[in-house]
Structure 1
Amino acid sequence: MSSIPKNEQNQKQVQILNELSKRKVVENNSLITSIAKMDKTPLKIFELAVSCIDTEEPPKDHTVYLSKNELFAFFKVSDNDKHARFKQAVENMQKQAFFKIKEKKEHGFEFENIVPIPYVKWTDYHDEVTIRFSPEIIPYLINLKNNFTQHALSDLAELNSKYSIILYRWLSMNYNQYEHYSYKGGRREEQVEAYRNPSISIRELREMTDTINDYKRFTHFETRVLKEPLEEINAHTSFNVTYEKVKKGRSIDSIVFHITKKPVARNDFYKLEEQDPIYLQDKANKEQAEELLAGKALKSKYTKLLLDNMLLSPYEMTDTALMAGLQKNVYPLYDELKELRGLNGVKDHLAYVSSKQEAYSKRNVAKYLKKAIEQYLPTVKRQDL
């Protein structure tokens, strides 16, 4: 059997990594603050599987499909032992991994222990991997009317410790709230700033990282759960984070984090692209066209309306492909609606879409907004007839 040429393998891997870089993970905040009783690899497999969920069309039978090539590319595994390592990771996830979720209810707290992925199927002769979520975890992944967090899958790829992943998800949850209320309003200035500078008690941090009985000396705890994870987060994600320790008496009582967003999020998925001149040549023409469209979108009145209605975030405005997609596929439809109902008609439509509070749960904002206006326009046209 002839082997696949190395250039073709590289191009295929670049294509997979490029696709993974566009994915987002969206989860309920109760899942973010839960205790993840699993190691880093099962946790990353879970996050990768969640990124496959399209909340517009929830997966049938709670099942999503990955490819082994996606898994190996995401974990940057290329050695001959990768299949055995994948099998071991899946077995560990199913034997040991679960979330301990604590939610405040009217009469007290409710506790759940949930095994997130009880069923995984793959073969040694096919690329597809079947992953089935438990029915109990699904509400935390698709019922996202409020209290949810969205983060980029590519930000997780280079995080190599469980604590880095847990801390990154929690920081994302807070910074998402900061961005939301900064532009939406509804909170006092000091409340908004508290989301960008969140505080957590040492007890809560130990619970969330499952280190109640580990690293008894604070210096060890600080190194493993704070210093080393934040070095990874600062190096490989869209955040820059510092922290300060708050004392109560002679002991450290809590930690205050200070989060800022990098102007352009680093994306290590593109390292292979930089080594592929054929790919870059094709990419240059596409990028030039996208930049022109994105530039027009940034100046469009519709972009301001999307921001006002929290259907677009400032972070998403840095995504050239997304803005180009809005300008090319969505804004012409808003022009049609404006012709029929005026600018106020567009405002009313976006206010209605925003009231559903579903936009942040979409993996593709442009696709979601396009679908919404495509469904609405025929109704407007029928009313005019």
Structure 2
Amino acid sequence: MELDVKKHYPKDWVVLQNRVVECFKSMTLDEKRLFIMATPLARTTNVSSGEPIFISTDEFASACGLEITGAYTALGVATKKLFDRSFGYVRADKKKVSIRWMYKTAYGDGGSELYFTDEVLLLLREFDALNPYTKYKKEVVLRLKKDYSLDLYHLAKKHQNMGGFQISLDDLFEQLGLPESYRRIGNLKDRVINPSLDEITENTDIDLTYENVKKGRSVVGFKFTVREKPKPKPQLIAPEKDIKTVDLFCNMSDAQINKYSTILSKLSELSDLSNFPDYPTFAIWISGILRDPKSVREETAKRILKALHQKTDFKL
């Protein structure tokens, strides 16, 4: 049953509280994909913690651009890993609370059943000034295949209205859950930043670029610039072809084509179209147009049509 209230965005939008995304930074790419596919269903339906959200193997493969055999394995592994995931926060009374993302999963040939906990369902449905959130099209983010593209895309969309963001190295490692092996700047750029930004710019609705932030000679962070790509202009509907330029050429037999192309090749009205050494060669060119009027400019086809009807005995 669809919710009557709190349904701010349709199912093709991912809408996540910023703190939710900060919690899933340690997930694998396939876990994030599965989570992202499930959250719009949790948001827009009245499902409770005792009811499953179902993601089929076919749907997962199609949305993520995977072969069905690869999707079957990836979905199974992601489902198991998600079941083992938890996150935490500190309550007002200073007690540390740990929460599982979901309390039950089921997986088979057809797909995965995910049972979110009540606390997570609430997080996936509350969006207001006290619970800031980021939104983007589901189909856009699921195209991303690099390990850290999805996380950087979310950060970019989170700060898009400000034109970008600046982040220290320590915060970047924290936000993306990066291993210490990437502390060398060249390694970080080659393995994380450059491939992710290239993929984001090529496959999403934004251009994402960056520059170093230095302290002395050392790089201490990065400044990212986010620009929305210009939306494609709506294509104008082409006017209908003049029936006289195409349809009236149709259904001519080979004998008719040979006859009328010979006649037309000798008309003075069409002589300026010829760069051919003799009439027979010009006639061969005209016969090609009589067979396929779209093979030349429309204006040329119109001239030949006009001559065909006014200067010969051709009848439909």
Query: Map of 1:151-162 to 2, 5 A cutoff?
Result: 151-162=136-147
Q: What is the aligned partner in structure 1 of residue 222 from structure 2?
A: 255
Uncovered stretches (5+) of structure 1, i.e. residues with no partner: 1-20, 179-194, 266-283, 289-385
2:182 is the counterpart of 1:215: yes
Q: Alignment RMSD, CA only?
A: 3.1
Q: CA deviation at 1:119?
A: 2.3
- Calculate percent identity across the aligned residue pairs: 21
Q: What is the aligned partner in structure 2 of residue 206 from structure 1?
A: 173
Decide whether the 8 Å contact of 2:135 with 2:157 is kept in 1. Answer: yes
1:116-160: CA deviation from partner (whole Å, max 9, x where unpaired)? 234222443xx4632111333223211112311111111112211
2:128 is the counterpart of 1:145: yes
Q: 2:57 aligns with which of 46, 68, 78?
A: 68
Q: 2:150 aligns with which of 159, 162, 165?
A: 165
Please give the alpha-carbon distance, in whole angstroms, between the structure 1 residues aligned to 2:148 and 2:205: 17
2:117 is the counterpart of 1:134: yes
Please give the alpha-carbon distance, in whole angstroms, between the structure 2 residues aligned to 1:228 and 1:121: 35
Larger relative contact order (C-alpha < 8 A, sep ≥ 6)? 1
Tell me: CA distance 1:112–1:232, structure 2 relative to 1, closer, same or farther (3 Å). Answer: farther
2:13 is the counterpart of 1:46: no
TM-score, length of structure 1 as denominator length: 0.51
Q: What is the aligned partner in structure 2 of residue 91 from structure 1?
A: 80
Q: What is the aligned partner in structure 1 of residue 159 from structure 2?
A: 174
Please give the alpha-carbon distance, in whole angstroms, between the structure 1 residues aligned to 2:145 and 2:96: 29
Please give the alpha-carbon distance, in whole angstroms, between the structure 1 residues aligned to 2:53 and 2:135: 19
Decide whether the 8 Å contact of 2:43 with 2:124 is kept in 1. Answer: no
Tell me: CA distance 1:82–1:259, structure 2 relative to 1, closer, same or farther (3 Å). Answer: closer
SS in 2 for 1:211: coil
1:179-212: CA deviation from partner (whole Å, max 9, x where unpaired)? xxxxxxxxxxxxxxxx212111111110011125
Decide whether the 8 Å contact of 1:243 with 1:256 is kept in 2. Answer: yes
Letter in 2 for 1:59: V
Decide whether the 8 Å contact of 2:57 with 2:68 is kept in 1. Answer: no
Q: What is the aligned partner in structure 2 of residue 313 from structure 1?
A: none
Aligned length: 223
Please give the alpha-carbon distance, in whole angstroms, between the structure 2 residues aligned to 1:204 and 1:107: 27
Decide whether the 8 Å contact of 1:239 with 1:259 is kept in 2. Answer: yes
Structure having the higher helix fraction is 1
Q: CA deviation at 1:82?
A: 4.1
Please give the alpha-carbon distance, in whole angstroms, between the structure 1 residues aligned to 2:210 and 2:23: 22
Q: What is the aligned partner in structure 2 of residue 117 from structure 1?
A: 102
1:16-53: CA deviation from partner (whole Å, max 9, x where unpaired)? xxxxx970111111123345111111111111111223
Uncovered stretches (5+) of structure 2, i.e. residues with no partner: 1-9, 238-316
Tell me: CA distance 1:107–1:22, structure 2 relative to 1, closer, same or farther (3 Å). Answer: closer
Please give the alpha-carbon distance, in whole angstroms, between the structure 1 residues aligned to 2:89 and 2:210: 26
Q: CA deviation at 1:243?
A: 0.6
Please give the alpha-carbon distance, in whole angstroms, between the structure 2 residues aligned to 1:49 and 1:81: 19
TM-score, length of structure 2 as denominator length: 0.62
Decide whether the 8 Å contact of 1:32 with 1:173 is kept in 2. Answer: no
1:222-274: CA deviation from partner (whole Å, max 9, x where unpaired)? 22221111111001110101111110123212211111111238xxxxxxxxx
Please give the alpha-carbon distance, in whole angstroms, between the structure 1 residues aligned to 2:230 and 2:65: 26
Decide whether the 8 Å contact of 1:199 with 1:256 is kept in 2. Answer: yes
Decide whether the 8 Å contact of 1:41 with 1:89 is kept in 2. Answer: yes
SS in 2 for 1:84: helix
Decide whether the 8 Å contact of 2:31 with 2:78 is kept in 1. Answer: yes
Tell me: CA distance 1:227–1:106, structure 2 relative to 1, closer, same or farther (3 Å). Answer: farther
Tell me: CA distance 1:222–1:141, structure 2 relative to 1, closer, same or farther (3 Å). Answer: same
SS in 2 for 1:43: helix
Decide whether the 8 Å contact of 2:61 with 2:68 is kept in 1. Answer: no
Please give the alpha-carbon distance, in whole angstroms, between the structure 2 residues aligned to 1:114 and 1:214: 30
Letter in 1 for 2:60: L
Tell me: CA distance 1:253–1:80, structure 2 relative to 1, closer, same or farther (3 Å). Answer: closer
Decide whether the 8 Å contact of 1:43 with 1:162 is kept in 2. Answer: no
Radius of gyration: which is bigger? Answer: 2
SS in 1 for 2:182: coil
2:47 is the counterpart of 1:59: yes
Tell me: CA distance 1:102–1:246, structure 2 relative to 1, closer, same or farther (3 Å). Answer: farther
Decide whether the 8 Å contact of 1:38 with 1:98 is kept in 2. Answer: no
Q: 1:243 aligns with which of 205, 210, 213?
A: 210
Letter in 2 for 1:72: A
Please give the alpha-carbon distance, in whole angstroms, between the structure 2 residues aligned to 1:31 and 1:58: 20
Q: What is the aligned partner in structure 1 of residue 6 from structure 2?
A: none
Q: CA deviation at 1:98?
A: 4.3
